[in-house]
Amino acid sequence: MLTGEVRTRVEDIEKQFSVSEEFLKKAVTFFIECADKGLKVKNDPEALLMIPTFVTSIPTGKEKGVLLAIDLGGTNFRVVSVALNGDHTFDLVQAKNPIPVDLMKGTSDELFRWMAEKIHDFVKENHSNAVESGNRLKMGFTFSFPIDQTSLDSGTLTRWSKHFNIPDCIGKDVVKLLQYHLDALKVPVVVSALANDTVGTLLARSYTGADKEGKTKIGCIFGTGTNGAYEEDLDNITKLPQSIRNELKAKGVRKMVINTEWGSFDNKLRVLPNTKWDEQVDKLSPNPGFHLFEKRVSGMFMGEILRQILLDLYREGLILQQYRTEDKLPHRLRTAWDLDTEAMSLFEIDDSTDLKASELKLEQMLRLPTTVEERVVIQRLTRAIAHRSSSLAAVPISAILLKSHALDGHNVNVDVGADGSVVEFYPGFRTMMRDAIAQTQLGPKGERRLHVNIAKDGSSVGAALCALSSEF
């Protein structure tokens, strides 16, 4: 359908976004190296963070109780009440609040005060008896940013990611900050566990009984950002002080859940693909040079990569030439982060005549009128970006399963619990990811024995499970 220069250019970009089998295998090997290093040492820029979470037991499905959970993701702040019924099922009531953009770049007091207010509103509405009786409810706090965790209910912020940048919060204990603001508002809630969304996803799948399809070996997120968690032998986590390991072992503990922070895999770009547009997106982000894997994979960045390429094609005189000068382009196309990845899921599968559905979406979202050819360009670029993103997603998953020998043995099946809007809603994301997994060292045989399942409300249920396991 495309001709001439436009066609050549689009084919060239598609090539830059293609992912080879050779690359996948090399990246898996390098991931294992970085993960192993991260279990041994702290503060090595080449290693993964591999954060010990102090979660040392995996739910059985018999857990019971009513707990609160909150989840500060990259886009929304959810407040949830979870009733664990003790039979692998749960009931859940939730309030979802979009995080105001100015709070992502303000002060920690502003952000945590706002969170405490939202929790207060929720508790008044859903747990009025706790407010009257003064009985404090336990709450699990899912905080999806890198944390230096020192126990189940304390941890200091290492650095921000996604759209967040609140410098005064770095180095502070986020549980203490939240508890301070809850107490100030007299909310009858104790923050009793600090969890990460990936850890929550792992625990939630275990609770709901993923066993039918094999044990849950990984909890992972593909939403605004991307990250994953798995269970590691305590003996391998040698960066944990010997005294702590001995203390845990005396209690019979053998394993601990590790939050890999794989969004930061290969920040030095030893193996990851790198295009001009990846570099532009990194420069625009609040944390240049960090989370470089995440910036090639997750929802916050896919749309922005597409926007960057479209701007370049315009500058090269290949599309949107009705706009004489760049300042005449629709404002939203010129504004960073305004092309939402959600729209790409529509472009990806648009099979309407002349891509009419995409035409409408582009007009609504970006106020951008387009020709059929331009929409074909957009669809092909969308598919190239999403294909690379989902193929890269195969790297950490394959690496962790290989590293922990999860698929060794006769007829073993494993479950990978996944959460986040990209993996849940992007058409074909999981299928493309599986195609890439089959090309790694796991091979088609390994790929067939692994099951990627969505952990609906995983991070909230997981945070509640963490809170339940804590001592009051």
Quick check: 76 binds ligand ADP (CB under 6 A)?
yes
Quick check: 97 binds ligand ADP (CB under 6 A)?
no
Quick check: 228 binds ligand ADP (CB under 6 A)?
no
Quick check: 214 binds Mg ion (CB under 5 A)?
no
Quick check: 219 binds ligand ADP (CB under 6 A)?
no
Name which of 74 and 155 has its Cβ closer to ligand ADP.
Answer: 74
- 345's contact among Mg ion, ligand ADP, none, with CB below 5 to 8 A by partner kind, is ligand ADP
Quick check: 223 binds Mg ion (CB under 5 A)?
yes
Active site members: 144, 159, 197
Quick check: 299 binds ligand ADP (CB under 6 A)?
yes
- 300's contact among ligand ADP, Mg ion, none, with CB below 5 to 8 A by partner kind, is ligand ADP
Cβ 407 vs Cβ 450: under 8 Å: yes
Smallest gap from residue 295 Cβ to ligand ADP (A): 12
Task: Choose the stretch contacting Mg ion; rule: CB under 5 A; options: 62-70, 100-108, 158-166, 219-227.
Answer: 219-227
Quick check: 73 binds ligand ADP (CB under 6 A)?
yes
Smallest gap from residue 420 Cβ to Mg ion (A): 5
Closest CA to 98 of 114, 125, 83, 76: 76
Quick check: 94 binds ligand ADP (CB under 6 A)?
no
Quick check: 426 binds ligand ADP (CB under 6 A)?
yes
Of positions 194, 210, 422, 461, contacts ligand ADP by CB under 6 A: 422
- 422's contact among Mg ion, ligand ADP, none, with CB below 5 to 8 A by partner kind, is ligand ADP
Q: Which of residues 342-361 bind ligand ADP (CB under 6 A)?
A: 342, 345
- Residues of this chain that interact with ligand ADP (CB under 6 A) are 73-76, 223-224, 299-300, 340-342, 345, 420-422, 425-426
